[in-house]
Amino acid sequence: MTISELHDKTKAYLFDLDGTLYLGERLIEGAPEALAFLRGAGKRIVFLTNNSSKTALRYEEKLRNMGLFEDGDLVYTSATATVHYLLRHFRGKQIYLVATEEVKEEFISAGVHVGEEDPDVAVLAYDTELTFAKIEKLDALLRRGIVYLATHPDDVCPTETGFKPDVGSFLKLFERSAGRLPDRVIGKPFPDMAKGVLSHLNLRSDEVCMVGDRLYTDIRFANRNKMSSVLVLSGESNLLSLSKFPDKPDLVLPSVKSLIPPAKNSG
Ligand SMILES: [Mg+2]
């Protein structure tokens, strides 16, 4: 597929954040220009992240400050997708939610019934305010056989200084202690994240392109959910890791800057 063929068929571009648009606090060169080009061509811009430790609004502020977010763009996190999943399948049920205070507020204001008395479902989000009391409570609920959801599967979260343990690492903890794996994981590469964002955008999967730097989340997400995909080599993948991985993207670009087609020579 060429870049012009991709632009012709695509109505919305879903962008991964870290490794794709920035590295830590540093913008990837040409990222704001690439987004501006796509908006100018009438494309919808969506920022899609598995990180469920911050609210969509917090991401919007961060992206706006970095010159990446404009009115009309959308932030869609694995927490947003989990809220949509809960409202579709467990509306009115009580949810025991392990999450940061701000993400808990986001669930509650979206209409999720968060409580601790007699929950029907337990949800593990990326809780960077995790305490032993919360671990103990979730463990006890899992032993009782309660429905168990996780916002996303990532083992680690990239930071400016290295990696932090992410939800996938905590899933291992509960696997060892309560003998349970989640009944469902919502975020990339799984289908509920795709269903949620596509129904929010009111688009079909073939009208959407995922742009990201991780093969086993971003590119696998696109392939499993029948979206187009672009792998950018500005983050954790290179041509060697691509050659060893079973899922292939439609296009490989050095960075998002290359989404701007080269100026055509006239004549
Ligand atoms: Mg990434």
User: Peptide bond before 189: cis, by omega within 30 degrees of 0?
Assistant: yes
Quick: pLDDT tens for 69-96: 999 999 999 999 999 999 999 999 999 9
Asked if residue 267 has pLDDT above 50, the reply is: no
Please report the DSSP string for 186-227 in residue order: -STTSHHHHHHHHHHHT--GGGEEEEES-IIIIIHHHHHTT-
**Topology given in CATH for the domain delimited by 91-185:** Rossmann fold (3.40.50)
| Structural domain spans, the chain | 3-50+188-259, 91-185
Q: How confident is the model at residue 266 (pLDDT cuts 50, 70, 90)?
A: very low
Quick: pLDDT tens for 96-123: 999 999 999 999 999 999 999 999 999 9
Residue 101 alpha carbon to ligand 1 centre in Å? 25
Quick: pLDDT tens for 9-64: 999 999 999 999 998 889 999 999 999 999 999 999 999 999 999 999 999 999 99
On whether the CB atoms of residues 30 and 255 are closer than 8 A, the answer is: yes
Does 3-50+188-259 carry CATH code 3.40.50.1000?
yes
Report CA-CA distances (Å) from 220 to 190, 212, 216, 227, 250. Answer: 9, 10, 5, 10, 12
Residue 20 alpha carbon to ligand 1 centre in Å? 6
**Structure tokens given for 31:** 């990222």
Residue 202 alpha carbon to ligand 1 centre in Å? 25
Topology match between the domains 3-50+188-259 and 91-185: yes
Residue 49 alpha carbon to ligand 1 centre in Å? 8
Per DSSP, the three-state class of 147 is: strand
**Cα-to-chain-centroid distance, residue 36:** 22
Residue 215 alpha carbon to ligand 1 centre in Å? 9
Per DSSP, the three-state class of 156 is: strand
Query: Ion ligand 1 — residues with CB under 5 Å?
Result: 16, 18-19, 213-214
Q: What is the pTM of this model?
A: 0.93
